Amino acid sequence: MDAKGLNFSCTRCHTENGHQVEGRYYSTPATTNHSLAMPVDSPSRIACESCHSAHPHKDRKNSTILNNHTARIACETCHVPLLARKKPTLVWWDWSTAGKFKEGHKYIVKKDALGKVSYHTKKGDLGWAKNIQPEYAWFNGVITHVLATDKIDDSKPVRLTILHGDKNDPHSKITPFKMMRGKQVYDPVNKTLVVPKLFGPKGSGAYWKDFDWQKSVAAGQQAVHRKFSGKVGFVETEYLRPVAHMISPAEDALSCESCHSRNGRLKKLTGFYMPGRDHSKRLDRIGWLSCLTLLVLAGLHGVGRIITSKGRRNS
């Protein structure tokens, strides 16, 4: 937002139309019928491309190469090298440890080295981090979510956000995400996530007064008219959130080697060939074959030169 320079307001990018603020992650499910951050853009200002165009790099070393990357790589992938560069961001929230007390039924509150609350009786354990690398995925702008009525597989961490898109979808780009992990209360019999009641008067089931998950979930599920088996458990969950803010100064953009190397940032993205990262047996063979051909040709050429020069000297 460049506080010391142009000092953008939120609405420089988030234009609104009849109180409908642009920026598509507000509703669940995320809208499925458009892809604002893509080159085929709507006239509203929300995407980077709306102001910068899809070919923003000019008059600089590698500008053509960089512009060639914008078709398949989101601007933010290169321009947000690290998340939470100034203020820590929440990355872990374990509700299962909530409800511990000091003597005299007093709340426990602990802080971590970053000065953030790392345990609170009402919330459980909280994990904070600074300067974290985003996660990367092919993404076409559509996210669907696991809903409170969906059956979940509780044998492994439940991915709450389902990202759509892949390498073969021309509308997908490699996009950065913030990963949020946690442990939350669920119904291990019906195998669904649940809505706990957190606040309210004592005796109402409100967790932050009664500190009883069973009562809290019973009250919450009743309020939203959903089934509850009466049993509670805790399941690990993961939530990926697309990154569109926290753009760094241009000179901090990712370098070629951050991606084009064996252990680069895109090492987990598979299914496509990336120079410098992957070895394709076929490409390697073509490479060595052409080297060999060159050598043979060069050799023949050399022999030819020797013969002809000899011929010349003799004449």
Q: Which is nearer to ligand HEC, 49 or 94 (by Cβ)?
A: 49
Q: How many CA atoms lie within 13 A of 280 on its CB side?
A: 11
- Give the list of residues 6+ apart from residue 111 with CB closer than 8 angstroms, or none: 117, 118
Binding part of the chain for ligand HEC, among 107-115, 185-193, 197-205, 259-267 by CB under 6 A, reads 259-267
Cβ neighbours around 108 below 10 Å, total: 12
Residue of 37, 44, 34 lying closest to 12 (CA atoms):
44
Question: Cα(230)–Cα(212) distance, rounded to whole angstroms?
Answer: 12
Q: Which is nearer to ligand HEC, 122 or 256 (by Cβ)?
A: 256
Binders of ligand HEC among residues 28 to 67 (CB under 6 A) are 36-37, 45-52, 54, 56-58, 60, 62, 65-66
**Is residue 13 part of the contact set for ligand HEC (CB under 6 A)?**
yes
Number of residues that bind ligand HEC (CB under 6 A): 57
Binding part of the chain for ligand HEC, among 89-97, 184-192, 204-212, 239-247 by CB under 6 A, reads 239-247
Q: How far is the CB of 158 from ligand HEC (least distance, A)?
A: 19
Question: Cα(220)–Cα(114) distance, rounded to whole angstroms?
Answer: 34
Q: Which is nearer to ligand HEC, 84 or 118 (by Cβ)?
A: 84
Question: Cα(171)–Cα(160) distance, rounded to whole angstroms?
Answer: 23
Question: Cα(36)–Cα(7) distance, rounded to whole angstroms?
Answer: 24
* Cα torsion 31, 35, 36, 41: sign: negative
The token pair that represents 48 in the structure block: 């980077």
* Cα torsion 174, 165, 31, 132: sign: negative
Question: Cα(141)–Cα(24) distance, rounded to whole angstroms?
Answer: 9
Quick one: which of 38, 75, 158, 206 contacts ligand HEC (CB under 6 A)? 75
**Is residue 253 part of the contact set for ligand HEC (CB under 6 A)?**
yes
Residue of 69, 85, 51 lying closest to 178 (CA atoms):
85
Quick one: which of 38, 41, 73, 213 contacts ligand HEC (CB under 6 A)? 73
**Is residue 251 part of the contact set for ligand HEC (CB under 6 A)?**
yes
**Is residue 117 part of the contact set for ligand HEC (CB under 6 A)?**
no
**Is residue 275 part of the contact set for ligand HEC (CB under 6 A)?**
yes
**Is residue 88 part of the contact set for ligand HEC (CB under 6 A)?**
no
**Is residue 263 part of the contact set for ligand HEC (CB under 6 A)?**
no
Q: How far is the CB of 36 from ligand HEC (least distance, A)?
A: 4
Identity of residue 247: I
Enumerate binding residues for ligand HEC (CB under 6 A). Answer: 1, 6, 8, 10, 12-14, 23-25, 36-37, 45-52, 54, 56-58, 60, 62, 65-66, 68-70, 72-73, 75-79, 174, 241-242, 244-245, 247, 249-251, 253-254, 256, 258-260, 266, 272, 274-275
